[in-house]
């Protein structure tokens, strides 16, 4: 009987250890690249409705490629079209449409409505962005997503590589209620080699939460943008 009890304890501890092992996050890597253009509202809209109606509007387009969970894995090519309207010095609203063409899974499309706040305190740059994102996916999948992004940057005197840090929380608004499903941390900087040209470099850490087998990813983000305004 004593031998049987010891055997049961050993098997129980072994099963608990295996369960804990399965709950460990799956850590992957990736690379994000993008190229964007910022511009004023299209000329035909200004001619149609008047220039004053669009003096605070900015439009943009972005194309990029993202690898899969591993560098050699298939990824996605995406195209973004966006518009942003500045309501005041602190407050802006925006609209974004994305199409993502994937190598190993079905293509995905989404629409996002954004509210953005920005305020500078001396050399400290503070920002907040709320996004309501609708994903065109099947019922039961993550269709309605609420994203809250908090940003902070610091303007270092006589230094071109100012640090920028952000935390973004992803909340799924679905049939189960509101569930936080992910957190994204980003630390990087941007550099302007010439006027109206920006190069961004950042390290991104994506973490799934609220699931039995979470994915954690470390991502190198590289971006280039040109401002035509």
- Counting every residue written for the chain, the total comes to 229
As a whole number of Å, the end-to-end CA separation of the chain is 83
Q: Which domains does the chain have, with CATH numbers?
A: 27-227 (2.40.160)
Asked if residues 204 and 14 have their Cβ atoms less than 8 Å apart, the reply is: no
Confidence of residue 70 (pLDDT cuts 50, 70, 90): low
| pLDDT tens-digit map of 23-58 | 577 888 899 999 999 887 666 666 665 666 677 888
| Nearest of 112, 74, 105, 69 to residue 208 by alpha carbon | 69
C-alpha to C-alpha distance for 106 and 113, rounded to whole angstroms:
23
| pLDDT tens-digit map of 154-182 | 999 989 899 999 999 999 998 778 899 99
Asked if residues 6 and 194 have their Cβ atoms less than 8 Å apart, the reply is: no
User: Of the ranges 27-31, 119-123, 146-150, 216-220, which one carries the lowest mean pLDDT score?
Assistant: 27-31
Residue 133 Cα distances to 94, 118, 128, 138, angstroms: 12, 21, 16, 15
Mean pLDDT over the full length of the chain: 84
Instruction: Give one DSSP letter per residue of 156-176, joined into a string.
Output: -TT-S--EEEEEEEEEEEETT
DSSP β-ladder status, 76-86 and 108-121: unpaired
What percent of the chain has pLDDT above 70?
81
| pLDDT tens-digit map of 125-148 | 999 999 999 999 988 888 999 999
How many C-beta neighbours within 10 Å does residue 86 have?
16
């Amino acid at each position: 009987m004593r031998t049987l009890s010891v055997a049961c304890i050993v098997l129980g501890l072994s099963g608990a250890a295996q369960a804990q092992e399965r709950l460990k996050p799956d850590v992957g890597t990736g690379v994000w690249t993008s190229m964007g253009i910022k511009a004023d509202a299209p000329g035909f809209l200004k001619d149609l409705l008047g220039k004053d109606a669009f003096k605070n509007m900015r439009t943009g387009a972005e194309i990029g490629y993202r690898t899969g969970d591993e560098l050699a894995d298939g990824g996605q090519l995406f195209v973004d079209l966006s518009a942003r309207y500045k309501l005041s010095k602190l407050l802006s609203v925006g609209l974004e449409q994305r199409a993502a063409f994937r190598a190993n899974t079905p293509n995905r499309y989404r629409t996002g409505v954004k509210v953005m706040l920005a305020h500078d305190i001396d050399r400290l740059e503070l920002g907040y962005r709320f996004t309501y994102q609708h994903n065109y996916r099947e019922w039961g999948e993550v269709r309605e997503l609420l994203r809250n992004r908090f940003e902070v940057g610091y303007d270092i005197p006589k230094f071109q590589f100012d640090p920028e840090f952000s935390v973004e929380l992803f909340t799924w608004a679905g049939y189960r209620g509101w569930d936080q499903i992910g957190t994204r941390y980003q630390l990087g900087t941007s550099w302007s080699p010439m006027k109206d040209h920006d190069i961004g470099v950042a390290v991104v850490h994506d973490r799934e939460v609220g699931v039995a087998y979470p994915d954690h990813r470390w991502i190198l983000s590289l971006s280039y943008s040109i401002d035509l305004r």
